[in-house]
Amino acid sequence: MSDSKGTVPLIVDGKRLDGRGIEDLRNLRIEVGIIPEADGSSYVEWGGNKILCGVYGPRECIPRHDASPYHAIVKCRYMMSPFASLEEHGRSGPSRRSTELSKVIREVFENVVIAEKFPNTQIEIFIDVLQAEGGTRTASITAATVALANAGIPMKDMVGSVAVGKAGDVLVVDLNKAEDNFGQSDMPMAISSRDKKLLLLQMDGLLTKEEIIQMVEMAERGCDKVNVIQTDALKRFYEKGEEESIKW
């Protein structure tokens, strides 16, 4: 509460509140295949976010009238646990916010999954936010990509996702809760790893055209970092068979 407006400075000497530089990500840890009953699953810890993701399908499309004879339908259900954050998120039923997030995450994967191979079916992505600390939609996309790869669902590309925002008049990558709530602007983005296609872009706050161009470039670099960790997690999981000897 240092300046006259009664706000905390978000950037001090080029460092952020949690000691990160402007382009540093929070700690990101990904585990693969942690729900044995699901076709594919992942668990992501990104800063204070804890996200569990399970993927099922392609399987019979229910309700039947949703099915398309041309391609598989991608469905996504994002849910924030009632205990996930400081704010009240109520009971776990659908809300305005979770419906929006389910939609934007679904649209990311509709562009990536090669659905034409599975007519009359659905692919379901279930995302549960167990703990939230800003940037759950980007963490959810990161988790769902890994779970889809684990499920063996054909995809054109891996998707990395990161938010870039403006806090304390400085452009920063991977906003935490304080920067998201008290910063000037927030722009989550999802970018495919190989051909760098922009699959999600939302914006909150005010930005100039130049800033946005710069932020997309920053997001590309951030997504590359996320992709390295995703790749690492999947490789670790699939190579584990090599080291792990059978337990009799």
Tell me the closest approach of the beta carbon of residue 112 to another protein, in angstroms. Answer: 8
82 interacts with another protein by CB under 8 A: no
Interaction residues for another protein, span 185-224 (CB under 8 A) = 192-195
Nearest to 41 by CA among 184, 152, 177: 152
Binding-site size for another protein (CB under 8 A) equals 38
234 interacts with another protein by CB under 8 A: yes
First to last CA, the chain: 60
Q: Is it true that the peptide bond before 69 is cis, omega within 30 degrees of 0?
A: no
Identify the residue among 11, 22, 25, 155 touching another protein (CB under 8 A).
155
Q: Quick one: tokens of 216?
A: 């997309």
Tell me which H or E stretch contains 238. helix 209-243
Q: Quick one: tokens of 240?
A: 């584990």
Site map (CB under 8 A) of another protein, residues 92-131, x = contact = ----------------------x--xxxxx----------
156 interacts with another protein by CB under 8 A: yes
Tell me the closest approach of the beta carbon of residue 73 to another protein, in angstroms. Answer: 11
Decide whether 48 or 154 has the Cβ nearer to another protein.
154
CA 121 – CA 110 distance, rounded (Å):
14
161 interacts with another protein by CB under 8 A: no
Instruction: Give phi and psi for 189, each to the nearest 5.
Output: -140, 150
Identify the residue among 59, 103, 196, 221 touching another protein (CB under 8 A).
59
- Cβ-contact 161, 219 below 8 angstroms: no
143 interacts with another protein by CB under 8 A: no
- Cβ-contact 133, 27 below 8 angstroms: no
**What are the residues binding another protein (CB under 8 A)?**
40, 57-61, 69, 114, 117-121, 149-158, 192-195, 231, 234-235, 238-242, 244, 246, 248
